Amino acid sequence: MANNISQDQVKHVAELAKLELNDKQLDYFTDQLGDIIGLFETLNEVDTTDVPVTTSVSDQLNVMREDVADNWNQKEALLANAPETENGYIKVPTIIDESED
């Protein structure tokens, strides 16, 4: 029933979103996403000729404020949330995997 999206497309979308799916997940996500995308398709029934898009319902537009820093002197508390730190810096693995050729 759910052929609105293929397994290859789901794999591609997962890659774009920096997610990794195992085979089982790929199976059920493909079915589920297919169903939901089928629901999305019902919007084609609606005539939206000359209808503008709505991306915000705020009554405020283009609000300006002074560019002033506040609540900024909290380096230690911030670093305490980092998974790995060294000498006051956040530590990450190498960008290029050196274990491979």
Binding site for another protein (CB under 8 A): 5, 9-10, 13-14, 16-21, 25, 29, 32-33, 35-37, 39-40, 42-46, 48, 51-60, 63, 65, 71, 74, 77-78, 80-84, 90, 92-97, 99-100
CB of 4 to another protein, least distance (A): 10
CB of 101 to another protein, least distance (A): 13
* Three-state secondary-structure class, residue 13: helix
* 34: Cβ contacts below 8 Å, ≥ 6 apart: 1, 2, 3, 4, 5
Whole-angstrom Cα distance, residue 5 to residue 9?
6
CB of 88 to another protein, least distance (A): 14
Helix (H) or strand (E) holding 86, with range, is: strand 85-86
